Amino acid sequence: MLERPTRQALPKKLFVKTYGCQMNMYDSERMSEMLAAVGYEAVQAPDDADLVVLNTCHIREKAAEKVYSEVGRLRALKRRRPDMLIAVAGCVAQAEGGEVMRRAPSVDIVVGPQAYHRLPEMLARAERARGGAGIVDVDFRPEAKFDELPVPERPAGPSAFLTIQEGCDKFCTFCVVPYTRGAEYSRPAAAVIAEAKQLAKRGAREIVLLGQNVNAWRGEGPEGRDWTLARLIRALAEVEGVDRLRYTTSHPRDMSDDLIEAHGAVPALMPFLHLPVQAGSDRVLERMNRKHRASDYRRIVERLRAARPDIALASDFIVGFPGESDRDFEQTMKLVRDVGYAQAYSFKFSARPGTPAAADPLQVPEAAKGERLACLQELLNSQQRTFNRSCVGKRVPVLFERPGRRRGQLVGRSPYMQAVHAEAGPARIGDLAEVEIMAAGPNSLSGGSPAI
Ligand code: SAH
Ligand code: SF4
Ligand code: F3S
């Protein structure tokens, strides 16, 4: 009797969409790697995906609402392809839990940022329960997650993220992160070093250490003693193949002496630091529970510049925090003028459910928030343009990461995180080479051919 040919199981298709911060980008990469191991192949569009993962952000109202409009669009696809599964991951999943499914019944799985290592098992359950009750896992044990994630084997890009710390104990009065990501947790130094070695072996030359409060990292060192982030950075700078290190995002309160010193002492540590200050008025900083004054921040900046004179700074700002007066806002403008930023993000205060600032009776009217934001952004944009223009005529080392829009063009990063477009073929992706900067735009630089 003839045997019937067995059909090779086709890889299933996975589409991941990432919102929010770099931590979510790292998590999305890890989820894709993990799902690749159980037969899912990543695709660039949701149309014929078997599984769509929305890795969501809850930080501001606009960010959180995006997920519901995206699920709305996916619902139409799902009507045509009822086998498609939709998973909502990340901070909206953590904050809203089962509520996500009540608002969006086409969602099959809700998985928090500390539970996604269990996705394969949840998928198997969801496939069995198709059309039935959804599956929710918002358990909170980051150590379990890191221990259980598989070791990836795919090549890494020239610049790779490495999460070393998660969660936040600071409780700024406007912020949801302590609730969505839980208490501060630092991965042990040995695990971080092992992952860095492995990333370098897979082709990464730059490692960006990630954490909600990355400079609060305190880990057990290989010899059992406690390590600080500065000590970890020194150890990572020794890893073969690691030419560049960065860390983000830092809190001014944890900018310790040894970390400031490391900026002067470790050449691999790039001269660019994202150090959010949020506001320039002590009254507002106090109401935000930032636990430092504007003068403390100015002093940190001075010391960083003394340690590493060419360091460039970035920050986040919130305008229209409850109780912020015109005078308070003027102090933010003054701080920005005094410090001088290479780059910054600025936001209107968004009242987030459950945070103390949301219940504050002194909410600032929307119109005033809008005016302040426009005013601040005009200043920040002009500082960014000035900084970019100051690079014209200089030779800067660029790490090439990806093809540019035009053929024969590559895009890389300068030490100061600027995107640099240069004339070079794809064979040079992964190269670190000097480029002469010829022109500066608001958001990027352009240069000639890189030196060999
Ligand atoms: N851990 C980092 C930032 C995390 S959130 C830190 O402490 O700086 C990223 C940025 O989003 C914050 O720096 C802040 O500027 C902004 N943000 C957070 N909550 C916000 C809110 N409720 N409204 C507007 N902006 C907010
Ligand atoms: Fe949010 Fe403040 Fe923690 Fe940053 S330090 S994550 S702004 S609570
Ligand atoms: Fe957003 Fe969560 Fe990051 S709320 S900013 S995705 S930690």
Q: What is the CATH number of the domain that holds 83?
A: 3.40.50.12160
Distance CA 357, CA 321 (A): 8
Place of tokens 């299933």: 12
Mean pLDDT within 155-182: 95
Of ligand 3's listed atoms, the one at least distance from the Cα of 95 is: 4
Ligand nearest to the CA of 59: 3
Cα 452 to middle of ligand 1, angstroms: 41
Q: Which of 294, 373, 292, 276 is CA-nearest to residue 338? A: 294
In a domain, 3, yes or no: no
- 107 and 129 fall within a common domain: yes
Residues 118 and 132 in one domain: yes
The stretches of 38-174 forming alpha helices (DSSP H) are 61-80, 91-96, 99-103, 119-128, 142-148
* Residue 173 within a domain: yes
Contacts of 425 (CB under 8 A, 6+ apart): 408, 410
User: Quick one: tokens of 261?
Assistant: 């010193």
Spatial strand order of the sheet with 12-18 comes to 40-42, 12-18, 51-56, 85-90, 109-111, 135-137
Residue 452: inside a domain? no
Residues within a 6 A CB radius of ligand 2: 168, 170-172, 175, 177-178, 212-213, 251
Residue nearest to atom 3 of ligand 3 (CA): 21
- Helix (H) or strand (E) segment spanning residue 244: strand 244-248
Which comes out higher in pLDDT, residue 415 or 146? 415
The residue contributing the CA closest to ligand 2 atom 2 is: 172
3-state secondary structure of 437: strand
pLDDT value, residue 147? 80
Mutate to test the pocket of ligand 2, among 21, 171, 284 (most ligand atoms within 8 A of CB): 171
Centre of ligand 3 from the C-alpha of residue 64, in Å: 10
Alpha carbon 202 to chain centroid, angstroms: 21
The two most distant CA atoms of the chain are separated, in Å, by 89
Burial 226-255 (b: 16+ CB within 10 A, else e): ebbbbbbbbbbbebeebbbbbbbbbbbbbb
pTM, two decimals, is: 0.94
Residues 382 and 416 in one domain: no
Mean pLDDT of 422-427: 94
Are residues 257 and 133 located together in one domain of the fold? no
Pocket lining: 178 vs ligand 3, CB cutoff 6 Å: no
Residues 84, 89, 95, 96, Cα dihedral to 10°: 0
- Reference 125, options 134, 117, 116; nearest CA is 134
2 in a structural domain: no
Q: Does any ligand 3 atom lie closer than 6 A to the CB of residue 182?
A: no
Q: Bin 320: left if φ > 0, else alpha if -120 < ψ < 50, else beta.
A: left
303 and 239 share one domain: yes
For ligand 3, the distance from its centroid to the CA atom of residue 221, given in whole angstroms, is 28
**Is 7 inside any structural domain?**
no
Is the pLDDT at 81 greater than 60? The verdict is: yes
How far, in Å, CA of 411 to CA of 444, rounded?
10
Strand (E) or helix (H) holding 233: helix 229-237
Measured in whole angstroms, the distance separating CA 309 from the mean position of its chain's CA atoms is: 26
Which pLDDT value is given to residue 131?
64
Task: Tell me, yes or no, whether 254 and 329 share the same domain.
Answer: yes
CA 8, chain centre distance (Å): 38
Same domain, 233 and 353: yes
Tell me the two tokens of residue 309: 């004179």
Residues 51, 114 share a domain: yes
21 CA closest ligand 1 atom index = 9
CA of 445 to the centre of ligand 1 (A): 28
Question: In this structure, are 380 and 415 located in the same domain?
Answer: no
384 and 412 in a single domain? The answer is: no
Contact 284, 297 (CB under 8 A): no
Q: Mind listing the pLDDT tens digit for each residue in 210-260?
A: 999 999 999 988 787 899 999 999 999 999 999 999 999 999 999 999 999
The per-residue pLDDT for 208 is: 97
Poorest-confidence range of 72-76, 251-255, 336-340? 72-76
Domain boundary among 141, 159, 176: 141
Strand partners, 185: 166
362, 389, 416: which is the final residue of a domain?
A: 389
Q: Given 117, 141, 165, which residue is the final one in a domain?
A: 141
Same domain, 254 and 313: yes
Residues near 318 by Cβ (< 8 Å), separated by ≥ 6?
174, 278, 279, 288, 346, 347, 348, 349
Domain membership flag for residue 326: yes
Q: In the 8-state DSSP scheme, what is residue 340?
A: -
Q: What is the DSSP string of 391-415?
A: TTT-EEEEEEEEE-SSTTEEEEE-T
Q: Is residue 5 part of a domain?
A: no
Q: Which two tokens stand for residue 57?
A: 């952000």
Instruction: Please report which confidence band the pLDDT of residue 385 belongs to, taking 50, 70 and 90 as the band edges.
Output: very high
Residue positions counted in the chain? 452
**Residue 153 pLDDT grade (very low, low, confident, very high; cuts 50, 70, 90):** confident
Q: Are residues 358 and 245 in the same domain?
A: yes
Question: What does 325-338 look like in DSSP terms, one character per residue?
Answer: -HHHHHHHHHHHHH
Closest CA to 169 of 154, 184, 181: 184
User: What does the pLDDT look like over 373-382, one tens digit per residue?
Assistant: 999 999 999 9
Classify residue 1: in a domain, yes or no: no
**Residue for token digits 């930032």?**
290
Q: Which domain holds residue 369?
A: 144-389
Whose CA is closest to atom 1 on ligand 3? 57
Structural domain count, the chain: 3
The ligand 3 atom nearest the CA atom of 59: 4
- Find the mean pLDDT for residues 185-208: 95
Q: For residue 204, what is the domain's CATH number?
A: 3.80.30.20
Q: Is ligand 1 within 6 A of the CB of residue 18? A: no
246 lines ligand 3 (CB under 6 A): no
